Structure formats: C-alpha cells, structure tokens
Amino acid sequence: MHVQRISMSRDETRRWRIWRQYRFDYSYDGVERRQGFVIMLGKQLQSVVVSEKSPTLH
C-alpha cells in the first residue's frame, strides 16, 4: 500500500484535514492482480474501493 494522492480537505465540521488516497494490489484467486483504493480524511476512513468480482468482501 502506498500514498497515491494527498491534499487538504474539510471534514463534516468544516475543519481542515489531510485527505489521502492509498493504492494497493490484491487478488481473489492468488493469480489475477487487481487494484484497490483506500481514502482517508484525517484519521477517519472515508471509503474502500475495489474491483467488483464478488460483491462481498470478508
């Protein structure tokens, strides 16, 4: 996992926070690699984005 983008953004209370997008690789079957992203605002997780081979992640 590594930082792909970084910037400043306001949270829900209008305070400035560091916004970060991390990229990571993963595989469902151990062969085919896919990319995913984690988006953080300050210390709060905003979203996790993955390719949709299976709609449920465990």
Q: Can you read off the two tokens belonging to residue 32? A: 């085919």
Q: What is the pTM of this model?
A: 0.74
Identify the pLDDT of residue 28.
Answer: 81
pLDDT of residue 46: 95
- Residue ranges of alpha helices (H) inside 1-58 are none
Each residue's pLDDT tens digit in the chain (58 positions)?
888 899 999 999 999 999 999 999 998 888 888 999 999 999 999 999 987 765 555 4
Beta carbons of 23 and 1 less than 8 angstroms apart: yes
How much is the pLDDT for 1?
Answer: 84
Residues 5 and 18: their CA atoms lie apart, in Å, by 11
